[in-house]
A and B are shown apart, each in its own frame.
Chain A
Amino acid sequence: MDELYLDNIDEFVNDHDKIVTYKWLSLTLGIHVNTAKQMLFHYLDHKRKESSAQLHATYLVSGKFVDNGQTSHKVSVVREEQLEDVKAKMSLIVSVHVYSVQKALLKDSGPLYSVDYDAVKDNLKNCSKYSAIRCATAVPMSSLELQQAREMHRPPSPEPENKKPAMNGNGILASKPSAKPAKGIMGMFANKSTPKNQDSGREIKSEQKEDAPVVDAPKSRPAAKANPMMNFFGSQPAKKPEKNVKEEEAAQSSSTAAEKQRRSPQPEQKRGDVVAEPQKNTKNDSRSKNKRIEDSDSEEDKMEKKKRRRIKLPEPDSSDEDVIPDSPPQMETREASPSPKKEVEAVTHSYQGNSDGKIRKRRRVLKSRTFVDEEGCIVTEKGYESESYSETEDDFQPTKQALRDPFKASSSKDDEKKSQKKSSASANKGTKQASIMGFFQKK
């Protein structure tokens, strides 16, 4: 490989201020992912030696992790500073490689996902062309098969939530890693494709441990997230075997291919999303991601047509409240068929007749209530309330507050401005903003 790529990457990183992930690079330049990883590594090395620009990198670390006697496979994307730390915590490191290179110091992992989103979306049919994970039997279902699968899977609706993990979308992740038993001992650890994280997240594929220029020092993103994750593992003694999963790791007690928890637990409604992943043949990660994005896109389109909405989708919208169906969430159904996340909502609603002809439905909505408690702190609590709504109701109301986590604005938050805001708020909840114009307004 010639040296031109160094200039290419340089241009992307320095001139365009882009975040260059290995996946994006591979799709943009049309090269194999492993080549992309190596390129990034060399670029980083080169630049560091020159000590010219200020560059930041993230790394993907995957390996075995033991927690309370339970072994699991953990894949995480970490910042450079945390790389050594994370590596030290793993009992066995399967793979470490550069995940991305960028100029900006990323405060969270969100942009990493965004970077790949469009690149993958544009190459939906062949986004696994350059990937290292292969499975001959992973073939997208034809639409006929898809429909049959959906019909079959709908009646045995949500399974009981006996495994009620503390986190929201992770129940599904328990599913599988289907892996191809590759050659020899490397086969045991390699190619553990893991199901997508909540929103067709990212990788989580464990790469073949090969010549990969082992780069060190990823930063472990999920320092705080590791805990809830571990809780999840703790409560998961047995894994539900997936249909056509070829399980290589017989040795492991809990064969969860971890998720790289890049994001904090998404709200419940995302569970629906994750159901789509563990399709029976989830060997090829990117392929199933294909399907998911495809599905979600087509769902969105359908929903848009149905509800005459715009870009704003009925559910996972930041300013909307959580909407979940009355029946227990669909996340437990992983009968290997991509149940569309939104169709679930639409279909399982109970219909109520209405005099003016509109279709009224009932739904359980996650509503948050803000109130001032004894200590004078503003507390936001979320709770489910059943409400009825009409299909044509305009749910774009500017005053919605979808506050998910109970947010205790206690004075331990040391921002002075905020505490001022809070004290004025608790003192006088009615007014929005103290303003000098208030003096002039009453005429």
Chain B
Amino acid sequence: CRRLTEQEYSMVADILCEFLEVAIHLILYVREVYPSGIFQKRKKYNVPVQMSCHPELNQYIQDTLHCVKPLIEKNDAEKVVVVIMDKEHHPVERFVFEISQPPLLSIRFSSPLLIRNDTLLSHVEQLLRAFILKISVCDAVLNNNPPGCSFTVLVHTRDAATRNMEKVQVIKDFPWIVADEQEVHMQEPRLIPLKTMTSDIVKMQLYVEERTQKT
């Protein structure tokens, strides 16, 4: 067994951030947070996904993930949550991505060729595809949202928040603030697990917390 190198951690963080970007766009599409007209079919992991064309929205999501990436690299990010809120800014749904990275890599990856290990990567790609598919059909298990919803992204970190605030303010004019209690906790949530994946380089779980009474 060996520890992952910095380069490998960075690679894993890249993979996860790419995935999260696609996942966020897809959640916005499937849960109808924005009208479907702004979305366009694109390809990721060899399957069609819906991505938004709106430049501001895209920039916002990219900036968000740009800040999240260093946290993931250091394995400081425990959860990344996409919260959908109603008009009064009370959360109605929370898509929680719990992420963890194994500290040690198993023996078969002893050589530093992890980056080019195609079997591993295509396996991870397959698992991520399954996540994407699951998100696409999640409205079978969720109730409809009220109109006029907005969204935000929260990151739960493992360490003390203040220390991480400095890490996170990497982009000027894109500040992060400590989240309100009301955004973080939902009243009477219903828990709906969506998907879990385990691979050598990352473990991820996706579940949805849904408010019982949405309207």
Contacts and interface: CB of A to CB of B under 8 A. Distances in A.
Contacts of B38: 407, 409, 413, 418
Contacts of A435: 173, 175, 177
Contact of B18 (A115, A264, A312): A312
B46 A264 contact: no
Contacts of B129: 114, 117-118
B133 interface: yes
The SS class assigned to the B binding surface is helix
B3 interface: no
B41 A108 contact: yes
Interface stretch (B89-97, B113-121, B206-214): B113-121
Interface stretch (A65-73, A99-107, A129-137, A211-219): A99-107
A118 B126 contact: yes
Interface stretch (B53-61, B76-84, B179-187): B53-61
B72 interface: no
B44 A317 contact: yes
Interface in B124-149: 124-126, 128-130, 132-134, 136-141, 148
Contacts of B124: 311
Given A111-B136, A311-B15, A380 B55 contact: yes
Contact of B137 (A102, A370, A414, A415): A102
B186 to A, nearest CB: 22
A105 B139 contact: yes
A103 B173 contact: no
Interface of B: 11, 14-15, 17-18, 21-22, 29-30, 34-38, 40-51, 53-60, 62-63, 65-66, 115-116, 118, 121-122, 124-126, 128-130, 132-134, 136-141, 148, 150, 173-175, 177
28 contacts: A17-B134, A17-B141, A104-B136, A104-B138, A105-B139, A106-B136, A107-B29, A111-B136, A113-B48, A114-B48, A114-B136, A117-B46, A199-B48, A310-B11, A310-B14, A311-B18, A312-B18, A317-B44, A318-B21, A396-B14, A405-B40, A413-B38, A414-B35, A416-B148, A418-B35, A421-B54, A422-B56, A433-B60
